[in-house]
């Protein structure tokens, strides 16, 4: 049996477009001799459909699309497609399903057993789980078909193995039911080290059950999530037979014969096992794909951003140019009375190196007009370069970017990084203004690392100006202002933030490794600035704990408890 792994990029809610994408992919696989084509989880609706699932008629429309698709498949080709469904669940309920289409009709529908309800996942809000996993027989082969989270039973970070009603291990149940081949349809979002975690997870199942494993993952960006693909075909000994491309659509065939899985060489000669890219490349590719798909799927063709001459806006500009092309990126340099000459020069150099549109818009005249205004002018003059005055400059810049955005229909990009957003070193309606926050889940240390990677490896020339990489970071909103006058050194700040955000460690535990007063300052600033982050533009989730839908902290709260020193 020739099986095609179809790593696809659906558009949420576009049932007609997704159906056609599945049909054309099945036709392409059929031309290569495939008998079965496996698609990702919820490929018909796109993942995650969120509260579209609550809209009257949406789930039924997904079922109709699948029924319509079945007779459109090429003769002799079957397909496994993920979709929300009313099939095989009690009346009035919906399931996260996968249907096997063959001979012009839906042969059977599998319902997901384990519904994730942590981090960015909220599937219990919408779906009813199956209580038992069973094999489906196809062409004499017992297929252990299951959906995404069904393979994650017992993994750290999940709760399925400790919640009484969910003490069900679907893989073990499928193995006990005589599965010859495990097939997992997934929409597993990217985060750093996630591809390796998936590989090790599947290998643990194989070591216990001794069956080959197919894992087909979604690819593409949907809102704040980006899906990396990295679909897998693993032999019964755990050998990696095929790894599909990261961050792009891909199609690979494997042959299953008498318990043995064998990869079929690609037509274009590319390797079947795509090598894992370095960390900086993963981050960059995820950011580019996330921005490209956000723009494409939201209907934006061009974007605009402020270019300060600093490292953050330089990296954001490069990502944008890679995502939509340099001719569709518009950069604005907006110097104030406190801007240094090298800032404009660095911004201009960056734009020239990338071939993006560049406009110089000095803001001092606008700044002075505010100072000459009754009442608020008195406030500004009473504390030159004070907090209100610094934020005003950022807001003039933000308004300038938004004017260009509104006039031309360009997506406005905010360029703040995770380190700044964590401690509130950013201005609401100023540098936070925009429709998409490109670097919202990138710590400052990684901004530098990815920028170096671009110059040294990806481009092999100076794209991001060396001075932007080496000069001390500064908002340039006051005389002789540098970030480190207000913030701890970025290596220290980032390390503390990683502990507080991504590992939820206590101040007491982190104070073993960093000055306690610094840890307390960072924790306090992070807690007090939740209100800012609640109003920031959406970004791209890259870490285990990103600001956004997966992290839910109160704004009006008092954090007055103490953790014992033992942590």
**Which residues are identified as catalytic?**
41, 112, 148
Type and span of the H or E element at 419: helix 418-423
Q: Residue with structure tokens 């401690």?
A: 423
How many whole angstroms separate alpha carbon 476 and alpha carbon 474? 5
Contact 311, 451 (CB under 8 A): yes
Q: Are 311 and 442 in contact (CB under 8 A)?
A: no
Alpha carbon separation from 408 to 90, 356, 403, 405, 447 (Å, rounded) = 50, 16, 9, 6, 29
3-state secondary structure 164-229: HHHCCCHHHHHHHCCCCEEEEEECCECCCCHHHHHHHHHHHHHHHHCCCEEEEECEEEECCEEEEE
Q: For the chain, what is the largest distance between any 2 Cα atoms, rounded to a whole number of angstroms?
A: 85
- Give how far the C-alpha of residue 142 lies from the chain's centroid of Cα atoms, to the nearest Å: 34
Q: What is the DSSP string of 16-76?
A: HHHHHHHHHHHHHHHHTT-SEEE--TTTTT-S--GGGGGSTTHHHHHHHHHHHHGGGSPTT
Beta bridge partners of 229: 246
The answer to whether the beta carbons of residues 191 and 544 sit under 8 Å apart is yes
Backbone angles phi, psi at 442, to 5 degrees: -120, 115
What is the torsion angle, in degrees rounded to the nearest 10, for the CA atoms of residue 419, residue 425, residue 427 and residue 433? -10
Q: Scanning the structure block, which residue is given the tokens 């201005």?
A: 427
3-state DSSP of 339-353: CCHHHHHHHHHHHHH
Handedness of CA 435, 441, 447, 449 (dihedral sign): negative
At 242, is the secondary structure helix, strand, or coil? strand
- DSSP helix/strand/coil, 241: strand
Token couple for 511: 């104070």
- For residue 540, cis peptide bond before it (omega within 30 degrees of 0): no
Rounded to whole angstroms, the Cα distance separating 39 from 22 reads: 8
DSSP 555: S
Question: Helix or strand or coil: residue 277?
Answer: coil
- The rounded distance, in Å, linking the Cα atoms of 98 and 146 is 8
Residues 6+ apart with CB under 8 A from 434: 305, 398, 401, 402, 405, 411, 412, 413, 414, 537
């Amino acid at each position: 049996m020739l099986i095609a792994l179809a790593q696809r990029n659906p558009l949420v809610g576009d049932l007609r477009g997704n159906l056609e994408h599945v049909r054309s992919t099945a036709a392409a696989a059929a031309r290569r001799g495939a008998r079965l084509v496996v698609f990702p989880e919820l490929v018909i609706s796109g993942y995650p459909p969120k509260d579209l699932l609550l809209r009257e008629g949406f789930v039924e429309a997904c079922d109709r699309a699948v029924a319509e698709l079945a007779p459109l498949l090429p003769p002799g080709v079957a397909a496994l497609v993920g979709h929300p469904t009313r099939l095989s669940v009690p009346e009035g309920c919906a399931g996260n399903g996968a249907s096997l289409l063959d001979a012009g009709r839906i042969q059977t529908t599998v319902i997901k057993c384990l519904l994730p309800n942590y981090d960015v996942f909220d599937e219990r809000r919408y779906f009813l789980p199956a209580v038992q996993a069973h094999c489906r027989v196809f062409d004499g082969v017992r297929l252990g078909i299951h959906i995404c989270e069904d393979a994650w039973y017992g993994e750290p970070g999940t709760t399925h193995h400790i919640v009484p009603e969910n003490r069900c291990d679907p893989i073990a149940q499928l193995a006990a039911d005589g599965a010859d081949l495990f097939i997992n349809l997934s929409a597993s979002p990217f985060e750093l080290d996630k591809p390796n975690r998936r590989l090790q997870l599947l290998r643990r199942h194989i070591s216990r059950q001794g069956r080959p494993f197919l894992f087909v993952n979604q690819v593409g960006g949907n809102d704040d999530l980006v899906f990396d693909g990295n679909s897998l075909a693993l032999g019964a000994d755990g050998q990696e037979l095929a790894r599909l491309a990261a961050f792009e659509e891909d199609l690979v065939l494997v042959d299953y014969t008498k318990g043995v899985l064998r990869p079929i060489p690609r037509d274009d000669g590319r390797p079947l096992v795509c090598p894992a890219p370095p960390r900086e490349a993963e981050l960059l590719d995820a950011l580019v794909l996330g921005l490209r798909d956000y723009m494409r799927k939201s209907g934006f063709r061009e974007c605009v951003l402020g270019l300060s001459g600093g490292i953050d806006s330089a990296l954001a500009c490069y990502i944008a140019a890679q995502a939509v092309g340099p001719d569709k990126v518009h950069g604005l340099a907006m110097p104030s009375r406190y801007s240094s000459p090298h800032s404009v020069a660095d911004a201009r150099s960056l734009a020239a190196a990338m071939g993006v549109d560049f406009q110089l818009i000095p803001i001092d005249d606008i700044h002075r007009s505010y100072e000459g205004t009754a009442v608020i002018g008195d406030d500004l003059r009473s504390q030159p370069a004070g907090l209100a005055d610094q934020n005003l400059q950022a807001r003039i810049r933000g308004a300038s970017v938004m004017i260009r955005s509104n006039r031309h229909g360009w997506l406005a990009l905010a360029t703040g990084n995770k380190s700044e957003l964590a401690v509130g070193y950013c201005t609401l309606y100023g540098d936070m203004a925009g429709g998409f926050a490109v670097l919202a889940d990138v710590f400052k240390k990684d901004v530098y690392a990815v920028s170096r990677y671009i110059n040294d490896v990806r481009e092999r020339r100076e794209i991001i100006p060396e001075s932007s990489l080496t000069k001390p970071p500064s908002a340039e909103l006051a005389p002789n202002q540098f970030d480190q006058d207000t913030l701890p050194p970025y290596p220290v700040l980032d390390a503390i933030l990683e502990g507080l955000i991504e590992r939820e460690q206590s101040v007491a535990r982190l104070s073993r490794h960093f000055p306690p007063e610094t840890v307390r300052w960072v924790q306090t600033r992070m807690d007090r600035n939740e209100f800012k982050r609640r109003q920031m533009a959406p970004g791209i989730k890259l870490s285990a704990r990103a600001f956004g839908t997966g992290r839910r902290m109160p704004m009006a709260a008092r954090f007055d408890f103490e953790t014992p020193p033992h942590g």
